[in-house]
Every structure is written in structure tokens, then in C-alpha cells.
Amino acid sequence: METMMLLVLVASSVLSVFFLRKLLSSSPKEMEAIPGSLGLPVVGESFSFISAFSSPSGIFNFMKERQERYGKVFKSYVLGRFTVFMTGREASKILLTGKDGMVSLNLFYTGQQVLGPTSLLQTTGDAHKRLRRLIAEPLSVDGLKKYFNFISTLAVDTLEQWPAKKKVLVLEEASTFTLKVIGNMIMSLEPMGEEQEKFRSNFKTISSSFASLPFNLPGTAFYEGIKARDSMYEMLDSTIANRRSAESSHQDFLESLIMKHTKSGDGKGDDQENKLTDQQLKDNILTLLVAGHDTTTAALTWTMKFLAENPQVLEKLREEHRLILVKRSDGATLSWSEVNNMPYTNKVINETLRRATILPWYSRKAAQDFEIDGYQIKKGWSVNLDVVSIHHDPQVFPDPEKFDPTRFDAPLRPYSYLGFGNGPRMCPGINLAKLEICIFIHHLVTKYKWTPLEKDGSVQPTLVRMPKNKYPVFVESL
């Protein structure tokens, strides 16, 4: 994987030298007024960036070194792009609010091609707002209620397998769990069987194509990714046709979006503006999958890792869940109202997302010229908000390396904690992610204990931070 990332890096750097004018509207000359170093010819500072990436503290040291030398705004050349990095509450407010269409998301070329032009991640302004309202509706707290039993039963079934194994790779188990949940929510996929296998294999191939070389030739990860995307779309097409024929009723995203929001065949009729085409529907179902899967998988894995490393926190968490058991009448199982009343568990999730900062920076492209911290940012530049430094600011989070969920006892100032982002692009999957983790944690801490089998702090060099060794543990019943 590391070799792959380096190949990507070198290839994209070489490409950018040849096609610089075409690919990027920023250039070293234009950026003269911004402090910082663009590093070596061709590769820039990419090697130090990638090596920081996989270290236990991630890009924190890369950022800190440069912030001490240049200040809160500096330029660099990483991953094939001239980039301005910035940090702090003010910068995050300006960039994440992105008033008047000031910035757009800055996906890599391969991601743009795989996700398709109508993905939420590729729309801006009013079109983004409209699309988001439709797509996010099934992810609201009320919309999620109908999936509660499925998620809870799946968590119980998953955990029951663990004590029989010599080694549980938590990251892999979390990945299977979260994929089965979303597959069921989107299109009522059963957790086992041929369809689930096809869905899983297509998704894994799509996912790996995101960090691939931008060459669409047979045999390349990018080519395979596009093929898997098309196969996934065939699955969705057949389910959409099935739902339209209304032979049977399903309680899933596809059914609810088709019934309420897809355009009628002739494109006429009431309120067609606020409805989705089949292409928009498919591009955005894929977007939810891509944006929601690795993030939730990583969050669940880091939560278990931090809990094992902080026994006092684990004990306090167990106490919250034991109390739920005590209050519950005999024979009953976890309920919707119980899962919505887990205040300490929610603080543990927030602290996990702060400490791990699984998305270390949020990437934007300037859609117009603007000023930030006294620096002129030009249209077309890549601007990255460094979230790691915000989450490790000792003024806001004293002793930032300590895992301490009580930091979230009192509300924090806006833009000082960005676990799920903020502003118009704040994560629409926040309720689902928290629901999955709360349910899983409840069944885990009330019935099992786990012991890590390795002490390795390395992190995978992928865009979402995950433990490199997949966090192997040994699990026993309590």
C-alpha cells in the first residue's frame, strides 16, 4: 500500500510538471507572497508529508514544524498539488462556511471520475443545498429508527463470533459490519449471500481506485474501479426497477427516495426541480457509501483502541451501560430510547474523533479570490484546512495527547472541534455513524473484554487514518 501511495505520488508529480498549466491554475510564482517552501523539484515536500502521514502522530509534526517557521498560513507542494495550508478557528470558519460559493470541494481526479458529475461532493451553491436536503432526509434521526433492530441484531451476531477466534482484526470486522449496515439500509441487502458478496467486492474495488494512478487502462486500479462502479450501478438499476414495479414494499433508502423524490418519466409535473434523476440517485448512493464506510469503520476501531489504552475511561463507560442494563426489564433487549440516552458514550466518540482526527485535513478549491489571515488566495488554488492542529490546540484541549472524554462536558466554542466538520458540508451521516457506534459499544462492553495483541502505533498511509495492523485483539466473554 505504501509503495502504491508513493507511485501515485511520483506519477502525479511528474504529470503535474508536464501539464502544470492545464491542471492547476496556481503556480509557484503566483504564490510568492505566501510564506513556506515548495520543496524539491517535481516531488515537492510529498515524501516528508507521506512519511509523517503513517507515523502515530500523523501529519501533526509536519504541520507544527512549518507553522513554527512560517505561521498559521503556509504553502507547500504535496500529492501533486501546490497547496496553501491553514489552521485555526478563523480560517476554519471562513473555509467551512464558504459563503457565496467562495470554495468548492477539491477531489482528486480519480475520485471525480468514479463518483460521477452529479455527486453531492461535486456540486456547489444552491444545487448542493437542494441535493443535500433530498439525500440527507433518510439519514435524519427519525429516518434511522426503522434500521435500529437490524443494526442491533447484526452487532450481537458479529460479536458472538469473536471469542471463538484466536485473533480478531477489529478493522476488518468493523468494515464488514458497517458495510452490511449500509447495504441493508440502501437496498435491503441480506447480511449473507451472493448479492452481499457482489456488493462488497464491487465496493472494495471502487474504494481502492480512489488513491490510484489516473490512467484508465485495462488492469489498472482506476480502470477496475470504473468497472466495479458500473457493476454496482447495474445492481442499483435492477433494484430501482424492482421498486418501481412495486411488487413488494421495502423500507430502504432506495424505496423512500424513489417514492418521494425521483423524477417522473416525462420530467414534467409538480416540483420536478426538487426531484432526482436516476443518475443523481445512483451517484449519490455511491457517494454515501464512499464517504460513510471507511470513516465509520475507522471510528469504531479507534474507539476500541483508545478504550483499551485507557482503562479508567472504559470502566466509566461500562458503568453507563451497566446502569442501562439494571434499569431494563427482564428479557428486554437494547431499545431506541436507551441508545438515545448515552451521554458519556457520545463524549467518548467525540474524544476518539478528536484524538485520531481520522480526516486530518479538509480540502477545498478557491472558487474566487479571497483574503484569509491577511493573505490573498487566488481563484483555483488548493486550500487545505489543517484539522489535526485545531484538535491538538493546547489552549482548547489542555494536554492534547491525553484521551479524556470529559473535555466535552461543557460546550466548546464553534469551530474548535470538527470531528464531523461544520457549515454546509458538515457530515450528513453523523446520526448514523453515532447510532452504529453506540449500539456496537453497548453490546461490546456489557458482554466482552478484549486484549490488544500488538503494540504498534503506525497508521495506514490512506486518506482516512486507520491503524496499520488493523488492531488485532483477543476477545473473551465477561
Q: Which residue ranges make up the site for ligand HEM (CB under 6 A)?
A: 96, 120-121, 132, 287-288, 291-292, 295-296, 299, 353, 358-359, 362, 419-421, 425, 427-429, 432-433
CB of 180 to ligand HEM, least distance (A): 13
> Of 43 and 155, which has the nearer Cβ to ligand HEM?
155
> Of 159 and 185, which has the nearer Cβ to ligand HEM?
185
CB of 152 to ligand HEM, least distance (A): 17
Q: What CA–CA distances, in Å, run from 228 to 159, 201, 440?
A: 30, 8, 30
Alpha-carbon torsion 298, 300, 306, 309, what sign? negative
Q: Are 53 and 466 in contact (CB under 8 A)?
A: no
CB of 358 to ligand HEM, least distance (A): 6
Exposure pattern of 394-413 as b/e (b: 16+ CB <10 Å)? eebbeebeebbbebbeeeee
Alpha-carbon torsion 156, 161, 164, 169, what sign? negative
Residue 75: φ, ψ to 5°: -105, 160
> Of 96 and 342, which has the nearer Cβ to ligand HEM?
96
* CB closest to ligand HEM, residue no: 429
> Of 46 and 422, which has the nearer Cβ to ligand HEM?
422
Question: Is 438 annotated for ligand binding?
Answer: no
> Of 213 and 358, which has the nearer Cβ to ligand HEM?
358
Q: Are 36 and 75 in contact (CB under 8 A)?
A: yes
CB of 433 to ligand HEM, least distance (A): 4
Q: What is the grid cell recorded at 235? A: 445492481
- CA distance linking residue 422 with residue 408, whole number of Å: 17
> Of 185 and 334, which has the nearer Cβ to ligand HEM?
185
CB of 13 to ligand HEM, least distance (A): 23
CB of 432 to ligand HEM, least distance (A): 4
> Of 130 and 447, which has the nearer Cβ to ligand HEM?
130
CB atoms closer than 10 angstroms to residue 46: 25
CB of 151 to ligand HEM, least distance (A): 12
> Of 97 and 208, which has the nearer Cβ to ligand HEM?
97
CB of 352 to ligand HEM, least distance (A): 9
- CA distance linking residue 405 with residue 419, whole number of Å: 13
CB of 363 to ligand HEM, least distance (A): 6
> Of 46 and 301, which has the nearer Cβ to ligand HEM?
301
Query: Annotated binding site, which residues?
Result: 427
Query: Annotated binding site for heme, which residues?
Result: 427
